[in-house]
Amino acid sequence: MNKTELIAKVAEETELPKGKVQAVLDGIINSIGDSLKSGDKVSFVGFGTFEVSHRSARTGRNPQTGASIQIAARKVVRFKAGKQLRDSVN
């Protein structure tokens, strides 16, 4: 499911116009991004938790040439699914 399909499904289930659903979804995504950028953790009980994690610098290998390359340290977003979400897919 992509973003357009999600908007259409939510609009159908809530009987709201797609434009309003898109505005709400964009607001949620932007708010999550802003919170993560400021170093906060974002939790939705039953759904899951988003948090920023630090990935250390490491040495990798170019698969085409086999040459060693240095991969820089960076921040990555991690998502841990909540119990209700995990149980819903089983």
CATH numbers and ranges of domains, the chain = 3-88 (4.10.520.10)
CA 7 to CA 17: how far, in whole Å?
9
In the chain, the N- to C-terminal Cα span, in Å, equals 18
Per-residue pLDDT for 90 more than 90? no
pTM given for the model:
0.79
Distance CA(54)–CA(76), nearest Å, equals 6
Q: What is the pLDDT of residue 27?
A: 97
Helices 18-37 and 3-14, axial angle in degrees (round to 10): 120
Tell me: pLDDT of 34 over 90: yes
With a cut of 90, say whether residue 63 has pLDDT above it.
yes
Looking at residue 19, what is its pLDDT? 96
Quote the pLDDT of residue 50: 97
